[in-house]
A and B are shown apart, each in its own frame.
Chain A
Amino acid sequence: MEAEENENFYVQLNSSPIRFEPINTLINVFFDDSNRQVFAVRSGGAAGVVVKGPDDKTSLSFRMEDRGSVISIKFSYDMKVLAVQRSQKSVEFVNFTNGNIDTMEYSQTCKGKSTRIIGFNWTNINEVVFITDHGIEFYQVVPEKRSLKSLKTFSVSANWFVWLPESAVLLLSAGPYGNSIHPFHFRAGMVYKLPKFEIDIPVIPKPAKLCLLERDVFMANIYGQLYIVVVRHQAKAGAPGAEVVLYLLQKESPARKTDVLRLDMSGRFALHIVDNLVVVHHQASKTSMIFDIKLDGESDGYVTYHHPVLSPLPMKPSIIRPVDAPLGAELVECELYSQSWIVFQPNVVIDAKLGCLWYVQLKLEPLVTMIPDKCKLIDLLLLRRDCKMVILTVCKQMLTPGTQTNLSTIARIFDKLNKVYRQFLDIESQNQQMETFSSREPTATRVQHNPAVIDQSDMYTHVFSVFVDNKDIKHKFMVAVLIEYIRSLNQFQIPVQHYLYELVINTLVQHNCFYQLHQFLQYHVLSDSKPIACLLLSLESVYPPAHQLALDMLKRLSTANEEIIEVLLSKQQLLTAIRFVRSVGAVDQVSARKFLEAALVGQDKTAVYEIIQDLHQENTVINM
């Protein structure tokens, strides 16, 4: 029952949330998405500030003077300076040494009398940006001097802003509708203004008023590219059903509308990016859906329209220890899609009333049964992190009697897997070349989204070898699958490992399909190698032609003359062996002892004589 229940969710909260003191009249809670820290500020800090981060290093607690209620509170990236905003005019700073707060604060006021600070962000170590209703003010913090130095200002009359710490990109909303977007990119000590652009709004309000709101816009890195994601509650004037519009942010030209995600619902939405998937939570129906912009959608030449990968489903129920309950207390199920939820990018959910911070996660295993189209499933899985075992499960399923997939689908899936495998090999060899050319670390050029590579040994260990001994699978099907895999590897010019060949050979031999095996070897489907040649030699007793096949293979290898001589001698073909030795010009490399021993075993006295004669003639020293 438990297992069955698990099948019906593909989105879940992580099992151990970060716990903090829930919000109440005395405690204010803040979240800094740059450092992913939750600040529980009790009585303006005088009764203590408890900071909970993702790990111990980023968690600490301290006290600070209560100088009024806190609007925003954020540590610098190295946690050596704490910035606190308590008014619309200034931000205060205070230094930290080894987690201990300094006694003296220092302050920076924004420029201009009527200017109002909307918010601030750390953009680098000791660099901070104030976003005001008149534009941005970029400062350098000098902790040693307890002062700030202005680096740059831009003036734009801003409504609100969105900040993406990982890319250090800031969006300013301007204009009466709020849809004129000014992007800025921050780098050490510098700020670059990127081309501004407009987000189209379906219905222009009259009289003009702000209609693009902060809560409907955010930025996200999807498949290594930076997108501006906009929730549009009405796709067209009068049409129900919301959609999510993706704008690709570009350096040289204004952001371009590339994708539209069709939600087919309306109400309040919250968005997350998990593993390059756009996860859309819908509060009214308490469901979530996922979109993958790399999967096929309908394109009109400019914009691609996507539908959810699967029908909307609720998150997996999450259980937590109740607030203020002792450690051993019974766990309770917490309310999902609660009104008190606040979401942050890329995948954070905070319930301030419960005092919980979760990460939204993707559950890949249930997808296996939810997506009947195996090709689509593999496409989706191949783009995910940690997909390897799930893909191997799918492959196993394709072969298992009862859930078997048809051969043409299997072929297409192998091609998909091997395409990724090929790309991986190409990157590998490029990296190797880079390493040989320069001793620098090659990691910089590594592709960011290295999808899981299912290589031959994975397929062998987890899929093929599992089924070879399965009596319920027809050997014909098994051979067909293996040949299909080899064909696919070949198509992508990936050298096939001999263990796969051995699997084919053994399967054919077990079912007495020697003639088929013979034809495979004849057409070099099973490439030459010493292990395969030895395997063939061992088959001679059940299939005599294997001897010829093995000898041919050894001959082609051209490094196996020694073995050829052994084979011939073991069959008492002394003269053939001698002729072979001569033909390859290896007379002075062979041991006459072997020949004589073989001749003695065969009790062929004339042969012994002939061998001595023969090898003597060649002026060979007989190494007895």
Chain B
Amino acid sequence: MTSTKSPVSLANFFIFNPTLGPREGEEHKKILLYYPTDVDIDTKIKNIGLCEAIVNFTSTFTDAPCEVMHTQKRRQVFYQAEKNFWIVMTVTIPISHKTKDGVPYIEYHEDDVQDSVFQAVLKQAYKMFRFFMGPFSDIMDRGNVQSLIQRLEHFYYRYLPTLKLDNSDILDVFNGIHFLPLDKHTYLRIQSFTNLLEATFSQIKYTAFLYNDQLVWSGLEQDDMRTMYKYLTTSLFPPFLEQELQGSPVANNDRRGSSVATLHYGRYINGPPNMSDSSNLGKVPRVYINTESTCEECHLVVYRALSATVCLLVDASYPLQFDFYRSIDGLVGPKLSVLASDISEQYVKRSTPSTGEVQFKYIYFNHMNLAQKTTVHTDSKKSSNVNIPADILRLLSDINSDLSRNVDEGETIVKSITDCWVVGKKSDQREFYVVINQKNANLIEINEEVKRLCATNFNNIFFLD
């Protein structure tokens, strides 16, 4: 008798700094965050002490910091986010109840938990904190340990429950960005639009432009954009869209006294919800960017018209007032509405579905620009909308971590028990994974099929097959 597998779940998550409580009896001072909260202090100290010991112990063998510890029931992932600041996440190994010879026992599916995926999830958790709160050490420098603890708790107590660990997969490893395919002229018009915006309002330091969940332009650096993209597509957009779908006013044309010329579809996602109500300024977060170098603090104002979104990173020293929002709305609203409808015309043309049932699914990722494409996932939001079996999906991550050991190039072809072929290829900085569900195919046929795919999809880039 077999039972269904339990999901991967978060056992604990903690952050500590060994230098904060170096002496005996002060161990609790090392703890900056411990989740879940309903754990007694001794257990906290014990677990953190163990982790510290593991870190110290492993450091005698290698210069590289300790990354992961495997146990039968749990997997513990380590990440030294900043000097002396360690983040540790422990997840449970999925189990299933089985019987052998009439004796019930528990089977641990250790292979279901992939190091690379959870290392990526942990790293992401840190990056997201840094994006909204700034680096740990900066917060300490500006305030004290207590202020850091407050911020950590404020952020992670809300963030951690939203983690969908069971749905984490190779996309978390890539953490890529979907770019919108667009013709040159429209792209230049968008450029022209963002340039005008930044030139008109000098307090806007950077802008980013998205269409649906796809990025078109980022004035931010790649790494910051990666985090912001994640935030926008997983946290900010979904509830907003849901609210729009439920029929709250879409167009801004209910404004009294506005003539046809000023009619547009623009509105703030996180700024003032209503341009005729100056009392409600909305809730605009502060973000920290370029943390590795200068560490700039900005307001993140997000404005949307139809499917086009523009993110304005406004200098944090500039107080956001209603007049500012109104003048932005006046400039951006009409222009963005026009751009959005022009893009949508192209978008419809481009996304004409290919005829016939597609026999294969693929994931593409380019490390150089973080461009990512997937037909394995039906949407970019983290949900269970995956159209290949979970074991095949895990296989992708396995091939990925395998290929990442190679320097330039490599290719792996795997046939699963279920007669499914999985091909992983790497050329320079690009990775390509294909899942072909073709029964009774042989290796040569599959190889030919993949060659054909590469030739049709990658004819304009240097991707050797």
Contact between chains at A515 and B465 (CB < 8 Å): no
Task: Name 14 extra pairs, CB < 8 A, besides A484-B195, A515-B222, A576-B409.
Answer: A406-B199, A407-B196, A476-B199, A477-B199, A480-B196, A480-B198, A516-B219, A518-B222, A519-B217, A519-B218, A522-B369, A552-B462, A580-B464, A583-B465
Check A480/B460 contact, CB under 8 A, given A516-B219, A545-B429: no
Contact partner, A525, options B184, B225, B409, B429, Cβ 8 Å? B184
- B446 to chain A: closest CB distance in Å? 19
Residues 281-294 of B, flagged 1 when their CB comes within 8 A of A and 0 if not, give: 00000000000000
Check A555/B188 contact, CB under 8 A, given A519-B217, A522-B179, A545-B369: no
A476 to B195, alpha carbons, bound, how many Å?
A: 8
Contact between chains at A490 and B429 (CB < 8 Å): no
List the 10 shortest-distance A-B pairs measured between CB atoms, nearest first: A480-B195, A487-B188, A545-B368, A551-B462, A552-B461, A555-B462, A523-B187, A407-B199, A515-B222, A407-B196
- A542 to chain B: closest CB distance in Å? 14
When distances are taken between beta carbons in the complex, the residues of chain B under 8 Å from A61 are none
- B432 to chain A: closest CB distance in Å? 14
Contact between chains at A525 and B187 (CB < 8 Å): yes
Judged by a CB distance under 8 angstroms, whether A34 is at the interface is: no
Q: Which residue of chain B has the shortest Cβ distance to A550 in the bound complex?
A: B462
Residues 233-267 of B, flagged 1 when their CB comes within 8 A of A and 0 if not, give: 00000000000000000000000000000000000
A573 to B192, alpha carbons, bound, how many Å?
A: 40
Contact between chains at B408 and A408 (CB < 8 Å): no
Contact between chains at A552 and B460 (CB < 8 Å): yes
A583 to B455, alpha carbons, bound, how many Å?
A: 11
Q: Which residue of chain A has the shortest Cβ distance to B219 in the bound complex?
A: A516
Check A555/B189 contact, CB under 8 A, given A524-B184, A545-B368: no
- A112 to chain B: closest CB distance in Å? 69
In B369-400, the 8 Å CB interface with A consists of 369, 371
- A573 to chain B: closest CB distance in Å? 6
Judged by a CB distance under 8 angstroms, whether B69 is at the interface is: no
When distances are taken between beta carbons in the complex, the residues of chain A under 8 Å from B191 are 483, 487, 525
When distances are taken between beta carbons in the complex, the residues of chain A under 8 Å from B368 are 518, 544-545, 548-549
Check A476/B198 contact, CB under 8 A, given A548-B428, A555-B462: yes
When distances are taken between beta carbons in the complex, the residues of chain A under 8 Å from B225 are 515
Contact between chains at A515 and B221 (CB < 8 Å): yes
Judged by a CB distance under 8 angstroms, whether A491 is at the interface is: yes
In B195-224, the 8 Å CB interface with A consists of 195-196, 198-200, 217-222
Contact between chains at A556 and B371 (CB < 8 Å): no
Label chain B's interface by main secondary structure. mixed
In B14-70, the 8 Å CB interface with A consists of none
A-B contact pairs, 22 of them (CB 8 A): A407-B196, A407-B199, A411-B192, A476-B199, A480-B196, A480-B199, A483-B188, A484-B195, A487-B189, A490-B188, A516-B219, A522-B371, A523-B187, A525-B191, A545-B429, A549-B368, A551-B428, A552-B460, A552-B462, A555-B462, A573-B408, A575-B409
In B430-465, the 8 Å CB interface with A consists of 430, 460-462, 464-465
- A598 to chain B: closest CB distance in Å? 15
Contact partner, A554, options B371, B408, B462, Cβ 8 Å? B462
Label chain A's interface by main secondary structure. helix
Judged by a CB distance under 8 angstroms, whether B158 is at the interface is: no
What's the A-B contact tally at a CB cutoff of 8 Å?
A: 91
In B273-329, the 8 Å CB interface with A consists of none
Judged by a CB distance under 8 angstroms, whether A349 is at the interface is: no
In A547-573, the 8 Å CB interface with B consists of 547-549, 551-552, 554-556, 564, 573
Q: Which residue of chain A has the shortest Cβ distance to B220 in the bound complex?
A: A515
Residues 477-521 of A, flagged 1 when their CB comes within 8 A of B and 0 if not, give: 101100110110011000000000000000000000001101100
Judged by a CB distance under 8 angstroms, whether A579 is at the interface is: yes
A583 to B458, alpha carbons, bound, how many Å?
A: 13
Contact between chains at A515 and B462 (CB < 8 Å): no
Contact between chains at B464 and A576 (CB < 8 Å): yes
A551 to B198, alpha carbons, bound, how many Å?
A: 33
| B195, B198, B371 — most chain A CB neighbours (10 Å) | B195
Contact between chains at B196 and A555 (CB < 8 Å): no
**B interface residues with partner A (beta carbon < 8 Å):** 179, 182, 184-185, 187-189, 191-192, 195-196, 198-200, 217-222, 225, 366, 368-369, 371, 408-409, 428-430, 460-462, 464-465
A406 to B331, alpha carbons, bound, how many Å?
A: 14
In A395-448, the 8 Å CB interface with B consists of 406-408, 411
Q: Which residue of chain B has the shortest Cβ distance to A483 in the bound complex?
A: B191
When distances are taken between beta carbons in the complex, the residues of chain B under 8 Å from A479 are 195
A486 to B195, alpha carbons, bound, how many Å?
A: 13
A445 to B101, alpha carbons, bound, how many Å?
A: 101
A297 to B393, alpha carbons, bound, how many Å?
A: 69
Contact between chains at B192 and A484 (CB < 8 Å): yes
Contact between chains at A525 and B188 (CB < 8 Å): yes
Contact partner, B408, options A552, A555, A576, A580, Cβ 8 Å? A576
Contact between chains at B460 and A515 (CB < 8 Å): no
A477 to B408, alpha carbons, bound, how many Å?
A: 39
When distances are taken between beta carbons in the complex, the residues of chain B under 8 Å from A487 are 185, 188-189, 191-192
When distances are taken between beta carbons in the complex, the residues of chain A under 8 Å from B222 are 515, 518
- B183 to chain A: closest CB distance in Å? 9
When distances are taken between beta carbons in the complex, the residues of chain B under 8 Å from A523 are 182, 184, 187
A491 to B185, alpha carbons, bound, how many Å?
A: 7
A484 to B464, alpha carbons, bound, how many Å?
A: 36
When distances are taken between beta carbons in the complex, the residues of chain A under 8 Å from B179 are 522
- B373 to chain A: closest CB distance in Å? 13
Contact between chains at B460 and A555 (CB < 8 Å): yes
When distances are taken between beta carbons in the complex, the residues of chain A under 8 Å from B409 are 575-576
Q: Which residue of chain B has the shortest Cβ distance to A567 in the bound complex?
A: B462
When distances are taken between beta carbons in the complex, the residues of chain A under 8 Å from B429 are 545, 548
Residues 517-539 of A, flagged 1 when their CB comes within 8 A of B and 0 if not, give: 01100111100000000000000
- B35 to chain A: closest CB distance in Å? 34
Contact between chains at B187 and A515 (CB < 8 Å): no
Q: Which residue of chain B has the shortest Cβ distance to A547 in the bound complex?
A: B428
When distances are taken between beta carbons in the complex, the residues of chain B under 8 Å from A552 are 460-462
Contact between chains at A486 and B188 (CB < 8 Å): yes
When distances are taken between beta carbons in the complex, the residues of chain A under 8 Å from B220 are 515
Contact between chains at A407 and B461 (CB < 8 Å): no
- A539 to chain B: closest CB distance in Å? 13
Q: Which residue of chain A has the shortest Cβ distance to B217 in the bound complex?
A: A519
When distances are taken between beta carbons in the complex, the residues of chain B under 8 Å from A548 are 366, 368, 428-430, 462
In A366-418, the 8 Å CB interface with B consists of 406-408, 411
